[in-house]
Structure 1
């Protein structure tokens, strides 16, 4: 049984998870782990089995609610949604007005996050190293061949949701990072900002499907082949840095449904060439500071998680 205070705390933890989920490089699963609800979250997600849906379709709502731990999920998901919608407005504004600073912040987050993920590897061998290198190569190739703007059709939005949710529930892996790779990050943030119900509903449906299918497969793969899977994910994050490079120049454009011009392909530039190519300041000092801020954010979260883990181990002993 939970008190009103407990439900308020769950709501606040949901806000923390939602804030993390909209920032590439920070995982909502990490926040769940830090705040001590990760195991209950996974158990609640896994409770959506055939028996649960049988109860739902039989209109045994009370039994269904109890089965899926609804009193836990409702305040948590409410906090996640409120936070995601609120922060999306800030993110879209900053990406539009201060792109170099924000992409630098994301760049720093991804670098330190890849290192944090690699720390989870307990044993390095030839296959582990090969998995890491494969991840780097695969991610780099994807970022090179994937256009800056991918299809905005609802089928692709659905797939993006299904793939991204798998990362959102795993500590250390960011769902927003996956959206960046798929070229759908800015689009989904814009949909959240403008409360585009059609896009949000399709994306949410994809998340639900991914949650009950792919996420279980990924969780099994991580458990069965932990070191190889972690090495692959770490390599994937490193190889994707090409996509998040702060200094870019648009090469090809298209007009979206609103009649606005948006880039199809972008070319990375060195900061020293950025001024000559675009006529704009590369803001190198600011970029470095924002990269450092991204580093510090993940390091602080790691220290908090470590302190909580030690405290829990002390209580159990």
Structure 2
């Protein structure tokens, strides 16, 4: 796997992470680096600490596959830095066509994962249904209140990072559901060091714990876990469905209202509820474009050797 190939995969992950409801883990999965990513993260262990304390920098770097993580992180940062403004502008002024494009991306991603599950049986079918149910429940869930001190901040970071490495579930979307989205944005803008340190500690703890769990499941129960993750993707289609009715709102960092709970509706009902055009032909075209791009990405970069 070349550094350029890893960097480009990182850019795809960064582009996905910018969007509320879309997970960078999805892109890691369809481009063939998900298992390598989990293995590298879980390598931050006691052996890594021992090597660092011995000042064996090279050994520590090789232990965690540092070259892979650095190239991937560089791609993620590049993508976020270059695409954040564009995606934010599109979400603000052209949300329906943008969500239609993402719907095509996620649908194709789910089908790519579905093809990777071998030997379907009732147990794996139940895993698929369980994934769909969990993701759909999260997508349709009302906001909960996590404002109970620094313990709530730590738990929010823990849960959000776990969701971020799961295909189909966005960490930022989890923060919205926990009622912490606006609070986190405000802390970032005000540079609240205590808040951010506790949030980061929760995220690091979640990343180290959850990556180990996923790595274990993928190696011990690979087909069942793949079916479960595929179900997450299919269930998350409710998040990126372009036509929605907003049931609840949450305040952003500047006091602006952002959707916190939404219900998918049809194009005609969407127009009746909002007075905005459904733009069905454009949305269908963008769905097909997103679908096509994922298949191209999977064919071109789905092989980890690229």
Q: Which TM-score bucket, shorter chain as reference?
A: 0.7 to 0.9
- Distance between the aligned counterparts of 1:10 and 1:145, measured in 2? 35
- The aligned residue for residue 89 of structure 1 is 85
- Distance between the aligned counterparts of 2:98 and 2:109, measured in 1? 16
Aligned length: 293
CA-atom RMSD in angstroms: 3.7
Structure 2 portions without partners, runs of 5+: none
- The aligned residue for residue 3 of structure 1 is none
- The aligned residue for residue 116 of structure 1 is 112
Q: Does 1:215 align with 2:211?
A: yes
Q: Does 1:236 align with 2:229?
A: no
- Distance between the aligned counterparts of 1:54 and 1:95, measured in 2? 46
> What TM-score, normalized by structure 1, do the two folds share?
0.74
SS at match of 2:116: coil
Shift of 1:296: 0.9
- The aligned residue for residue 176 of structure 2 is 183
- Distance between the aligned counterparts of 1:269 and 1:109, measured in 2? 20
Give the 3 Å change call, closer, same or farther, for CA 203–165 of structure 1 in structure 2: farther
Alignment of 1:1-317 (within 5 A): 14-22=10-18, 24=22, 27-30=26-29, 33=32, 44-57=40-53, 61=57, 63-147=59-143, 154-155=153-154, 157-167=156-166, 173-174=167-168, 176=170, 179-180=172-173, 183=176, 187=181, 205-256=201-252, 258-305=254-301, 308=303
Give the 3 Å change call, closer, same or farther, for CA 14–226 of structure 1 in structure 2: closer
- The aligned residue for residue 315 of structure 1 is none
- Distance between the aligned counterparts of 2:9 and 2:241, measured in 1? 31
- Distance between the aligned counterparts of 2:262 and 2:91, measured in 1? 15
Give the 3 Å change call, closer, same or farther, for CA 62–126 of structure 1 in structure 2: closer
> What TM-score, normalized by structure 2, do the two folds share?
0.77
- The aligned residue for residue 170 of structure 1 is none
Shift of 1:242: 2.1
Shift of 1:221: 0.6
Q: Which moved further from structure 2: 67-76 or 205-214? A: 67-76
- Distance between the aligned counterparts of 1:106 and 1:71, measured in 2? 30
SS at match of 1:267: strand
Rg larger in 1 or in 2? 1
1:145-178 per-residue CA deviation (whole Å, 9 max, x = no partner) reads: 233x9768733541244313433xxxxx3564x5
SS at match of 2:165: helix
Structure 1 portions without partners, runs of 5+: 1-5, 168-172, 313-317
1:60-95 per-residue CA deviation (whole Å, 9 max, x = no partner) reads: 556544544545543442332232233222222211
